[in-house]
């Protein structure tokens, strides 16, 4: 949707519990890759600042945070924020069960896009 709109800088933030060791998270990388596929951005960079052609991803680790992902489109006139905040880990567990049930009679390599029938 934002592909044709000029003048916005794109950045991301992901927050997880302190026991999560990878940074940025796989979800943040997947989100960044989706933005890159649909914009002129070339890559993502971990940290507060990124070159103009890349997306900055800030990764924070805070105790007892199941997961929060934010994508910002920022311009001189406004900021558009898309945000998902998990309140607990039940949704992640349900997703794992749904994926396990879906794949039980299949062979091959699949992603959650296959499970959710997202093209």
Per-residue pLDDT of the chain in tens (119 residues, 90 and over written 9): 888 888 899 999 999 999 999 999 999 999 999 999 999 999 999 999 999 999 999 999 999 999 999 999 999 999 999 999 999 999 989 999 999 999 999 999 999 899 999 88
| Per-residue pLDDT, 9 | 93
Q: 14: domain CATH number? A: 3.30.360.10
Of 16, 17, 60, 87, the catalytic one is: 16
pLDDT at 3: 80
The full DSSP string for 81-94 is EEEEEESSSHHHHH
Q: How far is CA 110 from CA 22, 81, 119, in A?
A: 22, 30, 13
Cα(89)–Cα(62) distance, integer angstroms: 15
Structural domain boundaries enclosing 68: 9-87
Residue 106 annotated as catalytic: no
16 and 68, same domain (yes or no): yes
Given a contact cutoff of 8 angstroms between Cβ atoms, the answer to whether 55 and 43 are in contact is yes
Q: Clarify whether 20 is annotated catalytic.
A: yes
Residues 68 and 110 reside in one and the same domain: no
The whole-angstrom separation of Cα 100 and Cα 118 is 17
Helix (H) or strand (E) holding 59: strand 54-61
Residues 59 and 117 in one domain: no
Domain assignment present for 3: no
What is residue 2's predicted lDDT score, i.e. its pLDDT? 84
Among 17, 19, 20, 83, the active-site one is 20
Q: What is the DSSP letter of 18?
A: T
What span, in angstroms and rounded, lies between the C-alpha atoms of 102 and 95?
10
Q: Are both 26 and 70 inside the same structural domain? A: yes
């Amino acid at each position: 949707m934002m592909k044709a709109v000029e003048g916005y800088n794109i950045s991301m933030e992901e927050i997880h519990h302190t026991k999560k060791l990878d940074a940025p998270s796989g979800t943040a990388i997947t989100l960044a890759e989706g933005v890159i596929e649909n914009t002129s951005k070339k890559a993502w960079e971990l940290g507060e600042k990124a070159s103009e052609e890349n997306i900055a991803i800030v990764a924070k680790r805070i105790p007892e945070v199941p997961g929060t992902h934010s994508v910002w489109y920022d311009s001189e006139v406004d900021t558009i924020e898309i945000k998902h905040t998990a309140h607990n880990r039940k949704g992640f567990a349900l997703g794992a069960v749904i994926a396990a049930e879906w794949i039980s009679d299949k062979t091959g390599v699949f992603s959650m896009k296959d499970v959710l029938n997202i093209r």
